[in-house]
Structure 1
Amino acid sequence: MTETALQKLLLKRFLMAAGTYLLVLALVWVALLSGHLQASLNALLLGSGLLLVCQLLLGWVFASGRNLRFNDPSLTEFQVLLAIAWQTWLLAQLDQGRGTFLMFYPLILMFGLFHLSGRVFVRCALLVLCSFVGLIAWEAWQAAHFDGSLLALQACALLVVLCWLCLYARYVQAARQRMRQRRYALQAHQDTLRGMMRQLEDLVATDELTGLFNRRHFLSLATCELERMRADSCHGLALIDLDHFKRINDVYGHAAGDQVLQVFATIASDCLGDTAVLARYGGEEFVLLLPDCSEEQLASCCERLRKAFALAQPPAVGLRVEPLSLSAGMTLLSEGDDLDDALQRADQALYRAKRSGRNRCLAAWEAVDA
């Protein structure tokens, strides 16, 4: 979860708590009007004002993002302690209506059920019990005649509820821990699966011998490039064929022929830029797509590749293949052009290069000009 998403969640959670305070405060004023509140009007106004000020300050802390500076950005323990203090003060002002408001102690602890650790939750529960028992003890010490049977029953009932909440909190936190571990395991499995899918995609898109793209993947990439093509741009397309490759296989063996293909792939990868797309089109034939280029740039690129390949040799020990050469047929792609038609033009230019003696790069536009 991102920091922004977490902060939005914490702010919503605070607003929910603030809304609960307002509802309880409205209930307090109902208790005052019905005669069940011992506090004077001024004391209640002061208590209500302090409560509103505390909530406004907390709201400012969350809205400004200052809560993120704390170890616990939710400030759950602080809010629980604040609520316990206000609840204890409220119970001290009640007489017969105390049992009605006693249920808000468990509600306060429920607020921290999913965010407090087990130890902190038990500590807060003990604070609730001690606060209520302390309140009873204070009243017993202040009153001349004190009948504490009802209060003792309320304290015992509160103890039972608090014990149940502590056990339930432990169960919930253990379940959340198991779910967290399963989520981490699932995430690890998903990452592994994504890695395997990427490897599978690479295998499907790549020629195993040369490491270049295969024909199917090239056609897919070229189609996407044509769809994204601007009206004022041109793409270069070239079909490249290694000369006398069959003779190399016949004289030196297929292993040497494989090395020649690998040497070409290495040289081409070094000569071409990052934007160029090169693929093995089939056998000893390769196809090159050069985005956003002119006639001169495409011709210069293919000629540079031809000269570099002529100086190469397969790495086999004791093997000296006759000078390597290639022939290339070039054409340009414009917006709205058909890829099959462009490949046909490049193939015709390649055929003319072969018929003209090989070891040369000819362009389809040269035939048009002629």
Structure 2
Amino acid sequence: MTLLRHLAVLLIGNDPGLRRMLQYWGATCILYVACIVLLLAQVAEGMTDPVAAHRLIGYGGCGAVCFYLLIRASGRIGLRPDQLAVSQAVFSLVCSMVAYAISGPLRTAMLVMTVVVIVFCMFAARPRQTLLLAVVALAGMGGTMFWLQATDPAHFPPVTEAITFGYLAGALLSTSVLSVEMSKLRSRLKQRRIELSEALDTIRVLATVDDLTSLVNRRHMHEVLAAEERRQPEGRGSCIALLDIDFFKRVNDQYGHAAGDAVLRSFSTTARSCLRANDVLARWGGEEFLLLLPDATLDDARMVLERMAERVHTMPVPGVEKRRISFSAGLAARGASEPFADAISRADKALYQAKEAGRDRIVLA
């Protein structure tokens, strides 16, 4: 199985874009094989010159191998998917022209293959490139028909060739117009997919982040706590702290709610700068915040909170320069197999004690 996987990587690579291009190449090869089988059947029935048919088969086989190598090396040599698609289409159109010239009474069937080549390009080439290919196909096939009716009018009657060319022109032009419309539709769908992805990202952020403080919101914090309980079901080595900004109502009453919002934003930015890598600070409600300190002892957690208190005391708050901001905190270590809800309850009681003791302090539960 490992050998097969290594062989697959060697043949088609790991890059999704490269694999997609090789899938198109594979579909083209299937079409080539089908045409070769039909061409050999024509030879067997005496409808097609065997020398010309074998030369065309050899030309097509060599071309398929060359295009595989080009696609496989496209990243190194800087070939874009649309350039590869156009090149492969020109090659296929040449094959169709030669097949038309040698297929005798079945030559009109080759016109179907000409249209199929243009259809294949609709999925990789740009609209202008598809239109240009249609013009090239018309010019090339028209030149082939003109040369055939001029050199062998008995087998290629001029009127028949002219009418056949008219049908081909209508089919190719219609296909080109449809290609342009499909390209527009794909562009609209791609843009809508991008917009939908951006909207989902916005919804995801709104569902997990508090829009005022840019901290984790209460809903998402419950998910974080549940994940921490699953990570450490025995309940050792984690601490929880509840923080409350002191006299926040007075800030709102004295300076206005805009100033209160500025205090919350400044506090959140300052507090977050004091945290360790795995600590999570959430806005729990109003001016109250919940801090999770995983893999921390009470001493570690207390040091974090003390560092936070020092920075909060000196943090600048626009519009509230004359007021010193502080917070009270209740800190609890999670006990063995203790649910976080119980640890939070104990931290809440410690926070109440901190407020009762005069605020601007940390009380251990």
Q: With structure 2 as the length reference, what TM-score do the two structures score?
A: 0.75
Moved more, 118-127 or 51-60: 51-60
Hey, what does 2:179 align to over in structure 1? 173
Per-residue CA deviations over 1:64-91 (Å, capped at 9, x if unaligned) read 5478626612233332333135314524
Are the structure 2 counterparts of residues 261 and 72 from structure 1 closer, same or farther at C-alpha, using a change threshold of 3 Å? Answer: closer
- 1:236 shift after superposition: 1.8
Equivalent positions of 1:276-315 (< 5 A) are: 276-310=279-313
Are the structure 2 counterparts of residues 291 and 20 from structure 1 closer, same or farther at C-alpha, using a change threshold of 3 Å? Answer: same
SS of residue in 2 equivalent to 1:271: coil
Structure 2 residue 119 is the aligned partner of structure 1 residue 110: no
SS of residue in 2 equivalent to 1:349: helix
Structure 2 residue 134 is the aligned partner of structure 1 residue 121: yes
CA contact (8 A) 1:313 1:320 kept: no
Residue identity matched to 2:79: R
Distance 2:109 2:248 in 1: 89
For residue 227 of structure 1, the aligned residue among 226, 230, 243 is 230
Hey, what does 1:347 align to over in structure 2? 348
Distance 2:237 2:62 in 1: 68
CA contact (8 A) 2:240 2:343 kept: yes
- 1:174 shift after superposition: 3.1
SS of residue in 2 equivalent to 1:117: helix
Q: With structure 1 as the length reference, what TM-score do the two structures score?
A: 0.74
Residue identity matched to 1:101: R
Alignment coverage as a number of residue pairs = 341
Per-residue CA deviations over 1:150-206 (Å, capped at 9, x if unaligned) read 62343133212212113312321232243134225424643563465356446xx42
CA contact (8 A) 1:238 1:329 kept: yes
CA RMSD of aligned residues (A): 3.8
Moved more, 171-180 or 55-64: 55-64
SS of residue in 2 equivalent to 1:237: strand
Equivalent positions of 1:138-149 (< 5 A) are: 138-139=151-152, 147=154
Distance 1:53 1:266 in 2: 65
Unaligned runs of 5+ in 1: 92-97, 141-146, 365-370
Hey, what does 1:143 align to over in structure 2? none
Distance 2:294 2:98 in 1: 71
Hey, what does 1:22 align to over in structure 2? 33
SS of residue in 1 equivalent to 2:152: helix
Structure 2 residue 12 is the aligned partner of structure 1 residue 9: no
SS of residue in 2 equivalent to 1:281: strand
For residue 57 of structure 1, the aligned residue among 40, 56, 66 is 66
Structure 2 residue 332 is the aligned partner of structure 1 residue 331: yes
Are the structure 2 counterparts of residues 221 and 320 from structure 1 closer, same or farther at C-alpha, using a change threshold of 3 Å? Answer: same
Distance 1:169 1:257 in 2: 64
Per-residue CA deviations over 1:308-358 (Å, capped at 9, x if unaligned) read 44456865478456xx65432212236743111111221233344455555
For residue 236 of structure 1, the aligned residue among 235, 239, 242 is 239
- Choose 1 or 2 for highest CA Rg: 1
Are the structure 2 counterparts of residues 236 and 137 from structure 1 closer, same or farther at C-alpha, using a change threshold of 3 Å? Answer: same
SS of residue in 1 equivalent to 2:282: strand
CA contact (8 A) 2:280 2:292 kept: yes
- 1:17 shift after superposition: 3.0
Distance 1:313 1:160 in 2: 80
Distance 2:310 2:328 in 1: 11
Distance 2:167 2:245 in 1: 85
Are the structure 2 counterparts of residues 277 and 105 from structure 1 closer, same or farther at C-alpha, using a change threshold of 3 Å? Answer: same
- 1:54 shift after superposition: 3.3
Instruction: Report the identity percentage.
Output: 22
